[in-house]
Structure 1
Amino acid sequence: MAKLNNRFWFRLHGWFSLPVWIIFCFVCLTGTISVISHELTWLTNPEARASNPQQVKEKPMSELVEIVQQAHPTASISTVMSFEPYLVNAVIFTDKDVPFAIAYVNQYTGDIQEINQGITFINFMRSLHGWLLFPWHSNYSVGYYIVCAMAIVMLGALITGLVVYKNFWRAFTQPKLRITQGKKTLLADLHRLAGVWSMWFLLLMSITGLWYLAQAMMWHNHIELEEHAPLIEVSQVPMSSNEAPTRPYTLSNALQVAEQQFPGFKSTYVMLPEHQRDTYKVYGQGDHIFYDQYAYGVTVNPWNGAIESERTPAKMTTLQTLSHIADPLHYGTIGGLWTKAIWFIFGIFLTGMSITGFLMWGGRTVKAAKADLDVTSSVNSHFVKQESH
């Protein structure tokens, strides 16, 4: 009975891991690359590097907007984003005959180092990993659901693998890697060792993946996690019959408001007003390492400088908190380069486990098929001999 139970769990482990191994392996691989996509961009694109030879302070985002506006007077600037200290800031704008462009502006020197009118490597890898580049239909993507469903596969493989691998904790104190006993034994040892040492990582990826799946369902059913930024009352907007009135409060004022509101605030994402009733949206990061770079923020009225809405971890609901801590845990950005390196290494382990698992399954399948063929041939030969007699 014990053998039967173990065989059941072993087969269940295989079913969780192998039927979708190509998608699972691809998601693991693209996720591993996404973890270091910023660093790969720095390595491969010199124009994306934010060199700071004079060791000066960063220029405020408002000054970067002015630099791009002077270089492109007819441009309509919508968004400014900052990433790592060693990468340039991105100023997103539209212009005549330019439906979408990103200006790579060095936040230390103020130089526009490149104008990118296509998709960036970072966005491409995140999109490929996040929803396999499937199209979005309003508020959902089939590809996003497929990727998120891999969390169920991962969690199932983790649980069944631990059931199958008896006394798995010995792999921590007595790791076994037999390299002289054939390919099958080596693959099995590699698979077990990587699985045991990656348990925490598998569990973390499963939990965050399940959250992304729940988030996708909420998006699909029009359940908003964050409230939309409020519109300014019509009575507060000055009326002019000739031309659009000038906003008395600038982006620089909005950034100052955010910095005064949150000590240690670092702006990472800024949106300029799109119309007269719109606000400055200033988001960034504070002193909580487990929250993403959009966890703090304010929307500022451009006509009177008042804060229309505020975002802070202390005022978040449970769902909002989960939304803002999932990405740092999933991509390993909580501790900078060090945690990214750890996440990258274990991402390689996870990708390797999917490959070794498939190779072991393939080897057993081929062996079983060959055995069945031999049995069938033997039976057919037996009947042929009987008929000849």
Structure 2
Amino acid sequence: MKQRHWFNLHGWFALPLWLLFCFICITGTLAVFSHELTWLFNPNARATNPADMPAKPIAELVEVVEREYPQADVTTVISFEPYLVNAIAFSDAEHPYALAYVNPYTGKIQEVNTGVTFINFIRSLHGWLLFPWHGSYSIGYYLVSAFSLLLLGSLITGLVIYKRFWRAFTQPKLRLKQGKKTVLADLHRLAGAWSLWFIAIMSATGLWYLTQQILWHNDIDIEGHAPLVDASAVPTQASEQLPVSFAQALEQVKQRYPNFRNGYSMLPEHSRGMYQLIGGGGEMFYDQYSYRVAVNPYSGEIAQASSPADMGVLETVLHVADTLHYGTFGGLWTKSLWFIFGLILSGMSITGFMMWGNRTLKASKNAARKQRKIEQVQTVQQGVQ
């Protein structure tokens, strides 16, 4: 295929819905720092610890909420970075759904949020553009993840077009005095060469999200659900307090996985429900949901347990995709790197469109000029006749 054809193909990969693609890049870049932005703009979300106290067990934080709201039905405990509060989801007569922001060091409830958090909003906006979910699928999720195909196509065609791209690392070229067209082209090529690794990661993780959505849509589970308590083991007389407390369930998990750190744990929702304790274990590239333990609330036995050591290929990809997509595996340093290259990728979509716009405008002017010449020639010929 001729170079010109590869160039046109590269443009067509980049052009469809380029504005939406740029929007997805920008929201994803913000999502990388969603926790840090929450800490910056919401003082009630900060886990201040002036006395340098150790973090309290999350079971104690649940008790704090239950004492403050005696009728509360606590459902979930969500833990973030050490500098953020724990979010404890509950409901009662006055709060159909609420998140209590509890400082893990002081045990104080700093805020009760009954709306949408910034973290959930920006992740949802980036992940599925706030499109509604219809059961197990969302058109928005399909749309966003499908952009990975265009991104991959742009990467491949860009490599074909940009001969000897590695020179951008040793001999970067940015000609600032040769007009806007040259500056845009040089910026686009430089950004593309230095972002190759980042674009490859975004393409790969985006393809995984597309695959994951297809599996969800077809009700194919990557991970098994927590088992239910056998009906015969449920006491016939209902009791307000379960025989096995949340603290005891956590202790069981700690005995099985000493490095377990809570990520998203759920209390039993009904009489046959289990404690579902989900968290991380300190592995660098695995997310905070890679350890999953189900504890029987009546016997205290572990009914189901899984960790990275037990995972198959799909489960492993499931639990490393987010850390690679958002750059969370190395803490603030990798988040900062992902943020910078997210901005670069957003800028590339803009410079690419500007280059295409300039070429299109020039081609349109040339076509109009050619058409005028043809009309002038035809007019002269008619006059001679």
Partner of residue 376 from structure 2, selected from 361, 369, 381: 381
Hey, what does 1:65 align to over in structure 2? 62
Report the secondary structure of 1:98's partner residue.
coil
Give yes or no for the alignment of 1:77 onto 2:41: no
Compute the RMSD of aligned alpha carbons. 1.1
CA shift at 1:386, angstroms?
2.7
Q: Which runs of 5+ in 2 are unaligned?
A: none
Determine the C-alpha separation between the residues in 2 that align with 1:41 and 1:360. 37
CA shift at 1:108, angstroms?
0.7
Letter in 2 for 1:304: S
Contact 1:239 1:245 in 2 (8 A): no
CA shift at 1:287, angstroms?
2.8
Hey, what does 1:330 align to over in structure 2? 325
CA shift at 1:245, angstroms?
5.6
Q: Which runs of 5+ in 1 are unaligned?
A: none
Hey, what does 2:358 align to over in structure 1? 363
Hey, what does 2:249 align to over in structure 1? 254
Letter in 2 for 1:96: A
> How big is each residue's C-alpha offset from its partner over 1:169-189, in whole Å with a ceiling of 9 and x where there is no partner?
100100011111111111111
Letter in 2 for 1:299: A
Contact 1:195 1:353 in 2 (8 A): yes
CA shift at 1:248, angstroms?
1.4
Letter in 2 for 1:311: S
Give yes or no for the alignment of 1:317 onto 2:330: no
The percent of aligned pairs where both chains have the same amino acid is 58
Partner of residue 308 from structure 1, selected from 291, 297, 303: 303
Partner of residue 273 from structure 1, selected from 265, 268, 274: 268
Determine the C-alpha separation between the residues in 2 that align with 1:64 and 1:31. 32
Contact 1:258 1:297 in 2 (8 A): no
Give yes or no for the alignment of 1:354 onto 2:352: no
CA shift at 1:299, angstroms?
0.7
Consecutive aligned runs of 4 or more in structure 1 exceeding 4 Å deviation: none
Determine the C-alpha separation between the residues in 1 that align with 2:185 and 2:212. 36
Letter in 2 for 1:40: L
Give yes or no for the alignment of 1:209 onto 2:206: yes
Give yes or no for the alignment of 1:219 onto 2:219: no
Hey, what does 1:92 align to over in structure 2? 89
How many residues end up aligned between the 2 structures?
384
Aligned ranges 1:106-255 → 2 under 5 Å: 106-240=103-237, 243-244=238-239, 246-255=241-250
Letter in 2 for 1:276: S
> How big is each residue's C-alpha offset from its partner over 1:307-345, in whole Å with a ceiling of 9 and x where there is no partner?
010021111121111111100010101011010001001
> How big is each residue's C-alpha offset from its partner over 1:53-111, in whole Å with a ceiling of 9 and x where there is no partner?
01111111111111111111111110010111111110011111422111111111111
CA shift at 1:199, angstroms?
0.4
Hey, what does 2:367 align to over in structure 1? 372
Report the secondary structure of 1:99's partner residue.
coil
Determine the C-alpha separation between the residues in 2 that align with 1:22 and 1:48. 33
Report the secondary structure of 2:263's partner residue.
strand
Query: TM-score normalised to the size of structure 1?
Result: 0.97
Determine the C-alpha separation between the residues in 1 that align with 2:4 and 2:381. 38
Partner of residue 341 from structure 1, selected from 336, 345, 359: 336
